[in-house]
Amino acid sequence: MQADVDYAPNNRFLPIVSWALYDFANTIFSILVVTRYLPPLLKEITGASSPLGGAVAVSMLLAGILVPVMGAVSDITGRNRRYLTVTTLICVAATSAISSTQQAPVMLALFLVANLTYQVSMVFYNSLLPTICTVDKVGTVSGLGVALGYGGSFFALLLAGPYVRAYGVENVFVLAGGLFLLFSLPIFIGVAERTGAPGAVFSRDLVVERFRRVFDTVRELPSHRSMLYFLLGNFFCLDAVNTTIIFYSEYLIHARGIPGSKVDLCLIAVQLSALCFSLWIGRRVDRTGSRAMLLWVTVVWIIAIALVLLTGSYPVVLLASVIGGFGLGGIWVAGRTMLLELSPPQRVGEFMGLYGMTGKFSAVGALAFGLLADLFSYDKALMFQIGMLLVGYFFFSRIDRARQAV
């Protein structure tokens, strides 16, 4: 039982904007909770980086198990928007509840739930992309979503500063949850469900069958080397990207001694850079293909991290933030487009799930960063991320040759 997935016959303004605004919404959670406020707060409470690294690793590994299965289930049932709504509401509730406690174990548990549902929601969101635009505009629309996403991060940082000064850092998580919910509403009502197989409904038997199908798909990957190399490259690159996003504020504050107000400026620089470049990157991907852009953004990330490592100078760190913003926007735009280029149309959700799984299983980087920072130094923890990016670059560079061999 399989559902065919076709691209939209035309490009309509309301569905496209409604879809893209979800990027605006979910990056509010990412910037305020994952990057800016929770890591430094937990560092102050626990005195260590590894507890958050462990919570990230557990939530990401669980998401890695669930994402490909739920992506495959969504292909059959055609209930992407419904699943997206449920996971988003759980994430919003758990995020807001972090403000109700100052006990680290409870905060970590709530964050684990919030991050798990946030990560799982992305497979449903990404799988809706073919239903809102024509095939020749996938890169452009994906770039619009990423650009609005970093616009959301910029907006959230500007709003959170005065909010924290007025109500305290412990209450910023209520703000993050409320904004996430508010800007998620358009996709809940403005984007249609995908078409599922006739009579297919969510059930235990369907989930078990999809688990088996995912394992079969993983076993097939060696015979489809293009997809295999892309997923491996994505694993290693997103390991570095996700880890840097999570610990960037903590690193600048505790390793470089940069005050919180200047850290906010660095984060704003990242968001503005990603916003400005994402639309351009989307158009370039449509014209030149996604492989070249994946290679470029990997190099850009290596340069940005190296600059931060080589000097503690604030102007250089600010420059590295701008450079990193280019890479941050590019990796999501080019990655989603590459996945759609390589996936059979009727298995978009399934392969989108595997794409998501590589990002989730790369949570080993967050755990490694926390342990290396606690046992050795922040700089050694950051150097580890450059090594991961180099491995990712190697796999991305082999995609073209692999396509000819498939």
> What is the DSSP annotation of 297-365?
HHHHHHHHHHHHHH---HHHHHHHHHHHHHHHHHHHHHHHHHHHHHS-GGGHHHHHHHHHHHHHHTTHH
Exposed / middle / buried, residue 391 (Cβ in 10 Å: 0-12, 13-18, 19+): middle
- Domains in the chain (CATH in brackets) are 13-191+205-405 (1.20.1250.20)
Identity (one letter) of the amino acid at 205?
D
Residue 148 has a pLDDT of 83
Q: How confident is the model at residue 3 (pLDDT cuts 50, 70, 90)?
A: very low
Distance CA 329, CA 152 (A): 13
Average of per-residue pLDDT values in the chain = 81
Q: Which residues fall within 8 angstroms of residue 173, CB to CB, at 6 or more apart?
A: 32, 33, 37, 38, 95, 96, 97, 98, 99
Residue in the block written with tokens 């669930």? 66
Q: Which has the minimum average pLDDT: 65-79, 91-105, 320-334? A: 65-79
pLDDT digits (tens, 9 = 90+) for 214-249: 777 777 777 778 888 888 888 888 888 878 777 888
Average confidence (pLDDT) over 304-321: 85
Residue whose C-alpha is closest to residue 119's, from 206, 213, 245, 226: 245
Residue 401 has a pLDDT of 53
Residue with the larger pLDDT of the pair 185 and 347: 185
pLDDT digits (tens, 9 = 90+) for 120-153: 898 888 878 878 877 677 667 777 777 787 788 8
Average confidence (pLDDT) over 70-76: 73
Dihedral (Cα; 158, 184, 41, 273), 10-degree rounding? -50
Q: Is residue 131 within 8 Å of 190, Cβ to Cβ? A: no
Identity (one letter) of the amino acid at 216?
D
Indicate whether 185 pLDDT > 90.
yes
Residue 196 has a pLDDT of 55
pLDDT digits (tens, 9 = 90+) for 349-375: 667 667 767 766 656 777 788 888 888
Residue with the larger pLDDT of the pair 343 and 376: 376
Percentage with pLDDT > 70 across the chain? 86
Torsion sign, CA atoms 300, 301, 306, 311: positive
Helices (H) and strands (E) in the chain, counts: 16, 0
Q: How confident is the model at residue 395 (pLDDT cuts 50, 70, 90)?
A: very high
pLDDT digits (tens, 9 = 90+) for 192-219: 776 655 455 666 776 777 677 777 777 7
Indicate whether 171 pLDDT > 60.
yes
Residue 345 has a pLDDT of 65
| Most confident option among 77-91, 162-176, 273-287, 329-343 | 162-176
Identity (one letter) of the amino acid at 145?
G
